[in-house]
Each structure stands twice: as structure tokens, then as C-alpha cells.
Amino acid sequence: MRASSQLGGAMQASTEPIAGAAPVLNLAAYKFTRLAELDRLRAAIRERCVELGLRGTVLVSHEGINLFVAGQEDAVRGLLDYLRTIRGLEDLEGKFSRSATVPFRRMLVRIKKEIIPLGIPTIRPAERTSPKLPPRQLQRWLEEGRKVRLLDVRNEYEVELGTFEGAEHLGIHHFREFVQAIDRLPPEAKDEPVVMFCTGGIRCEKAGPLLEQAGFRHVYQLEGGILKYFEECGGAHYRGNCFVFDGRVALDPHLQPTGHMLCFACQSVVTAEDVASGKFMFGKYCPRCYQDPSQKRESERESHRRRVRELAASQPGCTPYDHVRPIYVPRGFAGQRLIDFLTQRFPGTPREQWVASIEAGLLTHNKFGPTPFRVCQPGEVVREGQGFLHHMPDTTEPPINPDIDLIYEDDWLVAVAKPAPLPVHPCGRFQRNSLTWLLQQVYSGEVLHLVHRLDANTTGVVLLARRHRAAKLLAQQFADQAVEKTYFALLDGHPQWEATDFTAPISDHAQGEAGGRDTDPRGQPATTRFEVVRRLAGGQTLVRARPYSGRTNQIRVHAWAMGIPVVGDPMYRPGRQRGGRQTLAGDDPPMCLHAAKLAFRHPLDDRPLSLCSPAPPWLKTILEDTAEGSEPDTGDPSVGVGC
């Protein structure tokens, strides 16, 4: 609940048990006092509460204790007696009330920085607070017409349920906002008597000194809050009911439950009229937080979009962390020595580096088996399916381009516009600084299925499925070549054709030490459609590319094989030369390949869906430097769907 930190001040209805047949006794208490050894204190209080069969909430901090618990009368009294044995709580006052049921589902004992959060360490109610005004004295002042400024320090949702006649409130949604909200009071209020009030008095213990520090000269707090006033004065000069932080939700001036409920989603008070409004569903929403499906989806998408961008901007992989990479032995490597397996399986890592890792004890058997985490030896023989763990302490990753944009989201799919350089999935030097790792943190509790991949240096649309069935149906569309994939590439050269279907199998057999792929008869069939969009001065050509198959690096390898490689490609260089790295650094010139559009049929209802990614800077520059009206269809960032 949004107000769970204020439970101690919620039920200060009387100082003695109320007679009646209600079987449950509720105890509310708070005290500002210096407490130490909070971990030990928390454990001891929780143990005692569990022994007594109590439920509720107890908050402890260095500034004091705040609690509301309920249970059988002997058990509740036993807890209060126990708390009074703790140094500093000897005179802890208990406020009692009765109810037919226990208003809590479980027992929580928590350590907090403050029992009432305000965030100003100079406010110390244990040392000093404002003078208290008894309820009957306030009633007399109001009946005499005495000039007094009533200030409701509660949250706005509490005020809506009821308050004193003529009282002012500051429209706050959390008590922490009270600090800034004071400035909204008129200057003349500093010279007038100000009587603050809240539910049970605890918030006024901090609000009073804060007002005094702000220059208010005559500040009082209503002793015991609204509930104490109800007990002694009934509903005189008060309109409505009082919100309380327990299962009863609201009490009338006779301290009886009103029958209100709380919205599970937003914690607003729900009336009978709200329930009948058609915008209420138990456990889901109420009229105050209801959104129609389109609004809700857009709100969720915007929230996910913001969180992805914030997380990516933090460059999580650039902060040193201990990384553990699992390694498994494929069938073809069984029977080899460990060092030979590692060198062949990971050609990008030098043999001497693997030797150093093994000698340092950083390569172990995985946790499965009779001897978990046993350190490996370089000469041991590996077997098929065997697992190892490569421990890499103080891992840091290269920085990435964090400008990820969420361009589409529904219950089945997520699509992003990927910047570059940014690897799509964890690999090599990139783990946390990868697209899927970042997205998985935002969509926690879900399993996102990557439907297709882009190179780290390629920008554009990346599609993921939020459900296994969606991933399966989309994978079939890709396998059937039913997905229309549109790329734009800047090629280094002027081809002799205006359009061509280039067909050449692609294989990684020719990768060599530098890595990468090549056209090779032993490879898998691959065809790419190239269409000239614009020939540029300087010998470069902007083309539209549509790969009919989905081989790794397909467009790049086919352009390279034709002698007109993609501009900026670090691997497939001009003159059929091969570069020595796969991923560009952030300050390198871009690789000019952009996945502009994916068009397919939605896996839920088979409707056509087109997802577009806005043009990257290199492509925008080309378009801006050419005649108006001749731009190709590169994907409008304002369209996203149906482009």
C-alpha cells in the first residue's frame, strides 16, 4: 500500500480497549526515540510477533518505532509489554480499537531509514516537536469562532474522503512533498495560529518543526489526530469520513467502518457508485486509474521505452562486474584435450590466454556433477555435452550506442529500432551491453524470444516475441520467406546494373583467423535483391536490398563478393580484403547498412503488419543532400506501424 509507512498513526482511537463483542484487538503505537542494533531488534520483534500469532506491520529505525498489529487480546497486550522492555520504549503508549477481523494478511517487521519518511535529518521529533492541542480545546476554538488556520497535512486521496470544515490542504500525494508544498501557503499564515492535523498525529510530529523552521510562529498539532477527535468530539465541525491504513479503509465519526474499499491498483478509495460505474474490476482498476485498452497499451509502451533508454544510457557493462560464462562441448570436439578444444572452439581468444586462465583457476567444471566447481587442467580430455565455467572477474565491456527506441509493442510482440554499434545478443566482449540483455531487464518476468538478428554495426528494426507460440509462428514465416525485409545500404562503387538478384551460397568454412563468412559452394543457398536508389558523386551508390534468405552477414557478404562492399564495413573491406574485427567502436565512422522495414502477418490474427525504423544519420545526410521529393521509403519514425 502507498501509505504503509504511516501505519502507526492510523489507528489512535483510544488509549484503553473498547468494550464490545468484536474478537480482534488492534494495537497502534509510535514513539520517536533513539534505537540501536536494528538488525537484532527486528529479528527479536518478528520472533515475538510470530510466537504470539499476530499480523500487521512494525517499522523500526534509528529515529523510533511505528507499528500496527492485530490479534487476540492477550497476544496484543503481550507484545506491548515486551516492547516496553526495550530501552527507549519504556513509556510506549498503545492505542486500541476492535474489529471483527484482522485487517492484515501477514506479519511484517521492517527496518526503515525513517518511520515517517520526510528526508530532512535536522527534524528530530524525539528532541522537539510543536505543542499539542487537545481535541476538546480545538472544538471550543471552532465553536467560539476563534481565528485559526486549520491545515490538513495528509495526502490528497485522504482529504477527498473527509476533512474539517474550512481546512486547507496542500494537494500532496506523499508526505515527502510537504517540504516544498509549504511555500504554497500565503505569507500572512506565518503570523496566524496554525493547527495541523493528520490521521493519528504521527505526521504532525515532523510537520510542526518543519513549519516552525519555515518561519511560522504559532504552530499547534491536534493531539491524537482525527481519530482521537472523533473519539472525544464526534463529527463536530468535520465533514465526511477518515481514511485509515488498515483493512477497514475508512471510519465515520462514530469510529465505525463505512464499507469503503481500496482499489488494488492505485489504492484510491472506492465507493458503491464507483463499483457500479462500469469502470471497476476487483483487483484490476477503478474509475480513477481505469484506462481503455489503447491508452493502457500506449502507457505501458512509453514506460518500457523510457526504462530501456535509461538502462542503456547507464552502460551497465562498463561498470566492472564478475562474469561467469558457461562453455559446453559439442559432439565434434569430444576426445580432445581441454586446451585444444578451447583454442579451436574460440579462435578469437589466443591459446596463451586460455592457458593463463586455466593456471589461474578461472576455468572450472560447472556445478553439476559429483565435484562441483573443480578447477580444470589443460590436458584433461573433454567429452560431449560436458560443461565448464569460465570465470572472468572485474569484467568491463566496450561502450555501446544507447539510443534504443521502442517502436512497437503489444501482448505478443516487441519491436525496437536498434542503433549501432550495439550487439543484439550477448557474445564475445559484450554481455550486459547487448540489446537482449537490456530488454530482458525491462521485461522482467517474461521470456523474450529473438525472432531475427542484426549485426552489431547494422541499425534498424529488431523483432522479438513475448510468447513462445508467437516466436514459433514467426519463425515459420521467416523460413517460408514470407517476411518482407527491406534494407538500405551505401555501397563503395557504382554497379553496372540498376537491379539484380545476386545468388551465392554463404558459408563460414572460409572464415580463417580473421573470422567472418564468404561465398562458398559448400554453404547454404542465399539470394539478395539489390536495386539502385541513387548514384552519388564520389563513386558510392545507395541501394535498396531485400534478402530472400536469412544467412548471417548476407547483404554484406554478397555486396563484398560483387566487389562493391558496404561503406564502413570493418570485416568485408574493399578489394576483397578481410578486416580483423567484427564490431566498430563508438567513435568509428558508421557501417552504412540499415534495416528499414519488416513486413509480415501478425501471429495472433494474421493481419498484415509493417514495422519501420527511422533513418540513421548517414542516410538522413544523403537524403538531405539530394533533390526534394526523391527520397526513398526509408521508414517514417512517426509511423512505426503500417509504414
DSSP codes, 315-345? -GGGS-EEEEEEEE--GGGTTSBHHHHHHHH
- Per-residue pLDDT of 475-530, as tens digits, reads 999 999 999 999 999 999 999 999 999 999 998 754 443 457 888 888 899 999 99
Q: For the stretch 473-485, what's the b/e string if a residue is b when 16 or more beta carbons lie within 10 angstroms of its beta carbon?
A: bbeeebeeeebeb
Q: Going along 33-175, which residue ranges are E strands?
A: 55-61, 64-71, 95-99, 107-111, 132-133, 149-152, 162-164, 168-169
Q: What residue spans in the chain does CATH classification 3.40.250.10 cover? A: 132-259
Lowest mean pLDDT among 112-121, 165-174, 318-327, 363-372: 363-372
Q: Quick check: helix, strand or coil at residue 577?
A: strand
Residues 469, 473: Cα–Cα separation, whole Å: 6
Give me the CATH topology for the region 132-259: Oxidized Rhodanese; domain 1 (3.40.250)
Q: Which CATH architecture has domain 320-395?
A: Roll (3.10)
198 tagged catalytic: yes
- Per-residue pLDDT of 143-169, as tens digits, reads 999 999 999 999 988 898 899 999 999
Q: Which of 94-103, 176-185, 242-251 has the highest mean pLDDT?
A: 176-185
Residues 323, 498: Cα–Cα separation, whole Å: 49
- Element containing residue 356 per DSSP (H, E): helix 351-359
Residue 65 has pLDDT above 50, yes or no: yes
Is 4-111 a CATH 3.30.70.100 domain?
yes
Residue 289 has pLDDT above 50, yes or no: yes
Of 178 and 270, which is predicted with more confidence?
A: 178
Q: What residue spans in the chain does CATH classification 3.10.290.10 cover? A: 320-395
CB atoms within 10 A of CB 533: 20
CA separation, residue 242 to residues 8, 138, 229, 237 (Å): 15, 18, 11, 13
> Amino acid identity of 475?
A
| From 198, 263, 286, 643, the catalytic residue | 198
Average pLDDT, the chain: 87
Q: What residue spans in the chain does CATH classification 3.30.70.100 cover? A: 4-111
Percent of the chain with pLDDT over 90: 62
